[in-house]
A and B are shown apart, each in its own frame.
Chain A
Amino acid sequence: MAAASNQKDPAAAQFSRPLRLSFRDDMRSTLAAFLVRAFLLAVTACSVLAVLLIFIFVIRQAAPFFTEPGVSAVGRLKEFLISPRWFPEHPAAPEYGALAIIVGSLYVTLTSLLIAVPTGLLAAVFLSDIASFSVRQICKPIIEILAAIPSVAYGVFAVMLVAPWLQQHLGFSTGTNALNASLILSIMAMPTIISVAEDALSAVGRDIREASYGLGATRAETMLRVVIPAAHSGILAAVILGMMRAVGETMVVWMASGNAAQIPSPWWDLSQSVRTMTATIAGELGEVPKETAHFHSLFAVGLLLLVFTFCLNLVSEYLMAQMKRIAGR
């Protein structure tokens, strides 16, 4: 190397601009590259910082709920998770049992998934394997628009049109109930499920399909026995992402679920009003004075929600990675 740079070659003189950096330029460009990199890393780290801050600040506001003087933290936690009695505004003996609202959240989420998962999965099969190119070109925007409609607009729809309809035609005592919320939630969760499940189905290569068709299988057999099993991790991820969408949804459940903090009994009675964690936060936080146990209890509910979705997120990420590995194989 040294020999080359020391070589006195007249051809080198042809280059009008020096090919070797001067010491100053070298330092400057190294420094500039480092600075650009560091700057970009710092900007990117904003996302990490945001996640940390969200956790820190929600925990910080939730912590006083458990460390309130005069109550044992374990007792509080036990009451919070086991008791279904949520009466935080009781003047003498407030009760903070979140079980009913946790169950309410899971209740509407699961019932909505009961509708959304089969429909969404079948629609994904249609888009990935049945629809022609032009039909797909039409369907995709429809699903995108379905996904883009704001939840509050769905909420208006649920309160103003679905609820009276349910009341009139199905004879419910109130139209804002678990069924109403579940129906709307299922429509909201479906676009997520469809797009992720379709990605999963497409990630299963054409060669596997061709192998199945080549052995004389019909399309239904190919999809049900080969493609869907092969795409199971991606489909599971789709279901989980849909679930996250439904659990985290606020406005629709707040407006359409009736907001009665109770566990439905009998458990299959969809015509009863329920209340979810999100709706509890949304409905009560605006009214409570700051720095009260009630205020902090709502942050505890939020923390529960945050931890729950965080775990679901990690699971879905793991499943997506698995899906990519299958696709890459």
Chain B
Amino acid sequence: MPVLSDKIIQIQLKTKSPKMEPIPKQPTPFQAAPPRPAPSAGGTQIPQTIPPERVIIQSKDFSFYYGSRPGVEKITLDIEAGSVTAIIGPSGCGKSTFLRCINRMNDLIPRTHAEGLLAVGGQDVYDKQTNLVNLRQQVGMVFQRPNPFAKSIYDNIAYGPRLQGIRRRSQLDAIVEQCLKDAALWNEVKDDLSKSALALSGGQQQRLCIARTLANKPKVILMDEPCSALDPLATFRIEELIAALKGAYTIVIVTHNMQQAARISDRTAFFCLGKLIEYNRTDVLFTNPSRKETEDYITGRFG
């Protein structure tokens, strides 16, 4: 069944856009069921513990409160540079809250505060002296619902570079083309870049949002359930894209879809009720969870 659907999707893709460039071959077999060994980036085995020089995001006893209610509590985990890390958990468990803390997106919500340490590249993001502009430029974010600006495709992607002061048209053109190619959207939109971004389909919009993030040349991309509003075909395209981006970017993805986490991530963190229950290599977490709650959740016996 999974194999069959895989084929169908391939066929559909071919019929839909025959001129599409071949997607770079990635070791991303399309399998649905969890236990399976996680694919390793570049073929090397993922180490159980991350060597300190490869830690890009470090969280230590980090808590975040909405008013007096904790959104996440005492989170301690490290994220490796260049890897894909998935955060799973039941809804309301604080996984999105944690993700949004990494680039301080929660600032928009009034009456919130953070405790403990959450460092990106060695800089505590909740420190007063954090350069928020640089942080958010280099820790990009893709949201649950695609949220392109009501501007043209071109202007959407050029938004970040323009903020950084790039004004030369040729330079912007190059960035736009490169980012759209990286986000596997170029072939679909190259003929009318001046079209409104709102006219694209949901999946295309989400890839545009990823391309928009890429245009900022981030080190880390945070993805907050990027596929939840999309159909399976579009989800497949996004997952392919994530696999292609791995290595060059550190990706942290929040998902409610365990299969997706298993398919694409190197490491997985399981959150429940605002707490980090378990954090391990994906293959280990899904085959051999060390905590009862994790096992209950991934086998579907969760309350």
Identify the A interface with B (CB < 8 A).
1, 3-5, 7, 9-12, 14-21, 25-26
Given A4-B123, A5-B123, A5-B124, answer yes or no on A20-B131 (Cβ-Cβ < 8 Å): yes
Interface centre among A5, A12, A26 (most CB of B within 10 A): A12
Q: Are A19 and B53 in contact (CB under 8 A)?
A: no
Distance, CA A12 to CA B57, complexed state (A): 9
> What 6 pairs across the A-B complex have the smallest Cβ distances?
A19-B123, A12-B122, A12-B121, A4-B119, A17-B134, A10-B53
Q: Are A19 and B120 in contact (CB under 8 A)?
A: yes
Distance, CA A25 to CA B130, complexed state (A): 10
Q: How many A-B residue pairs have CB under 8 A?
A: 73
Whether, in the assembled complex, B157 has its beta carbon less than 8 Å from a beta carbon of chain A, the answer is no
Given A11-B55, A11-B81, answer yes or no on A21-B129 (Cβ-Cβ < 8 Å): yes
Given A19-B134, A20-B129, answer yes or no on A12-B123 (Cβ-Cβ < 8 Å): yes
Distance, CA A17 to CA B163, complexed state (A): 14
Instruction: Specify the chain A residue showing the minimal Cβ separation from B137.
Output: A17
Interface residues on chain B, size class: 20 to 34
Q: Are B58 and A17 in contact (CB under 8 A)?
A: no
**Residues of chain B lying within 8 A (CB to CB) of residue A5:** 119, 122-124, 127
Interface centre among A10, A17, A18, A19 (most CB of B within 10 A): A19
Instruction: Specify the chain A residue showing the minimal Cβ separation from B217.
Output: A16
Would you give the 0/1 interface string for B38-64, flagging 1 where the beta carbon is closer than 8 Å to chain A? 000000000000001111101010000
Whether, in the assembled complex, B158 has its beta carbon less than 8 Å from a beta carbon of chain A, the answer is no
Q: Name the contact of B130 in the complex, choosing from A10, A12, A21 (C-beta under 8 A).
A: A21
**Residues of chain A lying within 8 A (CB to CB) of residue B128:** 26
16 A-B pairs within 8 Å (CB atoms) are namely: A1-B127, A4-B58, A9-B55, A10-B53, A11-B56, A12-B123, A14-B56, A15-B121, A15-B138, A19-B122, A19-B123, A19-B138, A20-B127, A21-B129, A21-B131, A26-B129
Distance, CA A18 to CA B137, complexed state (A): 11
Whether, in the assembled complex, B135 has its beta carbon less than 8 Å from a beta carbon of chain A, the answer is yes
Instruction: Specify the chain A residue showing the minimal Cβ separation from B56.
Output: A11
Q: Are B134 and A18 in contact (CB under 8 A)?
A: yes
Q: Are A9 and B53 in contact (CB under 8 A)?
A: yes
Distance, CA A3 to CA B122, complexed state (A): 9
Q: Are B129 and A11 in contact (CB under 8 A)?
A: no
Distance, CA A11 to CA B219, complexed state (A): 10
**Residues of chain B lying within 8 A (CB to CB) of residue A4:** 58, 60, 117, 119, 122-124
Distance, CA A25 to CA B120, complexed state (A): 19
**Residues of chain B lying within 8 A (CB to CB) of residue A9:** 52-53, 55, 121-122
**Residues of chain B lying within 8 A (CB to CB) of residue A10:** 53-54
Q: Are A20 and B138 in contact (CB under 8 A)?
A: no
Q: Are A25 and B131 in contact (CB under 8 A)?
A: yes
Distance, CA A26 to CA B119, complexed state (A): 18
Distance, CA A207 to CA B129, complexed state (A): 49
- Measured CB to CB, the closest approach of chain A to B117, in angstroms, equals 6
Q: Are B130 and A19 in contact (CB under 8 A)?
A: yes
**Residues of chain B lying within 8 A (CB to CB) of residue A17:** 131, 134, 137-138
Instruction: Specify the chain B residue showing the minimal Cβ separation from A15.
Output: B121
**Residues of chain A lying within 8 A (CB to CB) of residue B134:** 15, 17-19
**Residues of chain B lying within 8 A (CB to CB) of residue A16:** 138, 217
Distance, CA A19 to CA B60, complexed state (A): 19
Instruction: Specify the chain A residue showing the minimal Cβ separation from B52.
Output: A9
Distance, CA A11 to CA B130, complexed state (A): 17
Instruction: Specify the chain B residue showing the minimal Cβ separation from A17.
Output: B134
Distance, CA A3 to CA B123, complexed state (A): 10
- Measured CB to CB, the closest approach of chain B to A288, in angstroms, equals 53
- Measured CB to CB, the closest approach of chain A to B106, in angstroms, equals 18
Given A16-B138, A19-B130, answer yes or no on A7-B81 (Cβ-Cβ < 8 Å): no
**Residues of chain B lying within 8 A (CB to CB) of residue A19:** 120-123, 125, 130-131, 134-135, 138
- Measured CB to CB, the closest approach of chain B to A34, in angstroms, equals 14
4 further A-B contacts with Cβ under 8 Å, apart from A4-B119, A7-B122, A19-B120, are A5-B127, A12-B122, A18-B134, A19-B121
**Residues of chain B lying within 8 A (CB to CB) of residue A20:** 123, 127, 129-131
- Measured CB to CB, the closest approach of chain A to B219, in angstroms, equals 5
Given A15-B138, A18-B131, answer yes or no on A1-B124 (Cβ-Cβ < 8 Å): yes
Would you give the 0/1 interface string for B128-158, flagging 1 where the beta carbon is closer than 8 Å to chain A? 1111001101100000000000000000000
**Residues of chain A lying within 8 A (CB to CB) of residue B53:** 9-11
Distance, CA A9 to CA B54, complexed state (A): 8
- Measured CB to CB, the closest approach of chain A to B142, in angstroms, equals 19
- Measured CB to CB, the closest approach of chain B to A162, in angstroms, equals 48
- Measured CB to CB, the closest approach of chain B to A9, in angstroms, equals 5
Instruction: Specify the chain A residue showing the minimal Cβ separation from B123.
Output: A19
Interface centre among B121, B122, B135, B137 (most CB of A within 10 A): B122
- Measured CB to CB, the closest approach of chain A to B229, in angstroms, equals 27
**Residues of chain A lying within 8 A (CB to CB) of residue B52:** 7, 9
- Measured CB to CB, the closest approach of chain A to B268, in angstroms, equals 20
Contacting residues of chain B (163-204) with chain A, CB-CB under 8 angstroms: none
**Residues of chain B lying within 8 A (CB to CB) of residue A7:** 52, 119, 122
**Residues of chain B lying within 8 A (CB to CB) of residue A12:** 121-123
Given A4-B58, A17-B137, A17-B138, answer yes or no on A11-B131 (Cβ-Cβ < 8 Å): no
Distance, CA A25 to CA B129, complexed state (A): 9
Instruction: Specify the chain B residue showing the minimal Cβ separation from A6.
Output: B122
Instruction: Specify the chain A residue showing the minimal Cβ separation from B122.
Output: A12
**Residues of chain A lying within 8 A (CB to CB) of residue B130:** 19-21
Distance, CA A17 to CA B135, complexed state (A): 8
**Residues of chain A lying within 8 A (CB to CB) of residue B122:** 4-5, 7, 9, 11-12, 19
Instruction: Specify the chain A residue showing the minimal Cβ separation from B131.
Output: A21
Q: Are B127 and A14 in contact (CB under 8 A)?
A: no
Instruction: Specify the chain B residue showing the minimal Cβ separation from A9.
Output: B122
